[in-house]
Structure 1
Amino acid sequence: MRTASLLLTLLLAPTALAADLSGTKAHLLGRLDALSASTARLAQASDAYYTLAKGANFDYARLWKSNPAGVKAAVERTRAAWRDASPRYEQIEGFFAGQDPFDRLDLIIDAANPGTDGGVDHDVKLPNGTVLRRPGALFNLTEAALWSLDPRYTALKVNLGAKDGLGNALPDANVLKGGVDALHGVVGQLRQTARGWQPSTGYVFSTLTANVPTTQDFLEVWRASRFVTGGASKTQEFAAISRLNDLRDNIGSWQVIYAGVSPEVRRRNVALDTQVRGGLTELRAYVERLIDRERQRRFTPEQALLVQREAQDRATAIAGPLTQAAALLGVKVAGQ
């Protein structure tokens, strides 16, 4: 997620130590390969649903009446593929958010709001020729279509068996296919960009300093989502997967990123390295406990606010040691 904390962008000092970050890049490339395979499967599932709709000349009432079981199965397969792809992106999003050369692609895939957020001019052309002007992040667009979060992307209200009523509708096949195809294409651009990218020690600390504070942003969105407010939620995203899961996965990417410089920090200050690694480990474990609790019962809005404050306190406690570790390796934090 984007954050005002990008003002803390780190400048690589001339004397900065160059850590061996080959493993960091290899990890990212491997995860991107898996993500691309997952979005390809999502595209195949979306195509199958689109083919059914096209066969009925996009008369969704006739389609549902003639083949309810087949249509339901096609929607469910596409939803399952989406639920596989989305976490795969969250597991590596920490590498991208707010960082060149990835920032624009991250906005398109998972961070931009509809309209002009971040100045990203990205439209989506649908198979029927319609162009969606700046519809926002592609994961959000396709989620909204699949789970009927936006009436503009909903084709027909039907009973698909959703107990809470979420997603009891058929998605507009043109919107779904257009959004999914665009998503798979931009993931391909991300893979290509990553292949030519070389991480640096400065990148590690700028990324972590920019993204660890977004813990609060994740939980702010979670508090407004259906996972806390239920049917009263007015948001059109983050309804299929809890934002707590996304935060957990992002923290995992922060741990991987820091691991690249950890040996160099540890050689100079064991206690400091332990503090950073321990802070990230404890933050992730805390979010894991929240996820376990959420599976059993919903947090009230009041409880969710307390959770947000505690999690942010934990994230803030990591910032100081990160700045010290940066200085130890010759990386200057802007404003320090």
Structure 2
Amino acid sequence: MRDIDELRELRDFDTGAPPLDDETRRRARARLLTAVNGPAVPVRPRRPVLRIALSGALAAAVAAGVLVAVRDDDGTRTHRTANPPAMRNMSAQMVLKGAAAYAREHERAVSPRDDQFIYTKEIIKETDQKTGVTKSHVDENWRSVDGSKRSWTMEIGHGWWSPPLKADETVWPPQDWGTLRKLPTDPKKLILALANQYTNRTKSLDDLTDMDWSSIHFDLAGLLKLVPVMPQGLRPAAYEALGMVPGVKLVPNQKDAKGRTGVAITYDDPTLPKGSVGFGGYFIFDPATYGFLGFRDVRTSGDGAAMKTYTQLSYLDSWAIVDRVKERP
């Protein structure tokens, strides 16, 4: 029924109805292209998400200097406005554009050397959905800047050595600085670059199908979640590109790991069964400044009757560029 309603919106476009916004227009066109192409639409394989980073909030780091960035105790570096925008006037696109503007204002130019490491410290709070018990974890990671050295990776309090990639191995998101620097910092060009990683058939956003958009969201969410330090301009572009994905929506009144109430951005993936949650979870932003607060995800462990489900809240506590693995700033 939603597909039919969207096609009716397109039919009424020139009959005096209010103009469609960009998201609705792209969503309807994408669904129409999917219906026309049918099963023949090629499914691009999804790249493995690199586990060298983290499962939680590695985004929008506020730099305290060129080499070290540390959040204040309350997780922010800006003053809140007395009257945040009315929730009814917000949209996912508005929040993500605000997040991009915030990131541009606060980002600092960083140029790590290939022989250095990017250190991150992440706080993760997990609550067992059945028992209500909450546990906190501190994950510290050291990632080789050019990927040529082994890195130390932690996830939910457990750590291991990650060997360098082999010559024929590729991952998404890219972790080496040289590859990150080649990604476009224009949001539309970034989307097209992601869409054409396997073919060069896509020339316009209007050509993208539901399957294309699902893969693009997967790529953008992975980039924002798993790459804590980016070349200048890339994170704002990724936020704006995320706002162009049909199905991205706003969820108000979401608590972050520190108990602050924010607005969240999540994604309804039309390629998944209804009610399923795809990769990316919830990006939580300050409703007044649009500064990034952290992530909300769901994690499961075990199988069958022994399976446990956790609500996971996380945020980036600090990051730094260091000369040696296991060196702290």
TM range (shorter): under 0.3
TM-score (norm 2): 0.25
TM-score (norm 1): 0.24
Q: Which has the higher strand share?
A: 2
Larger Rg: 1
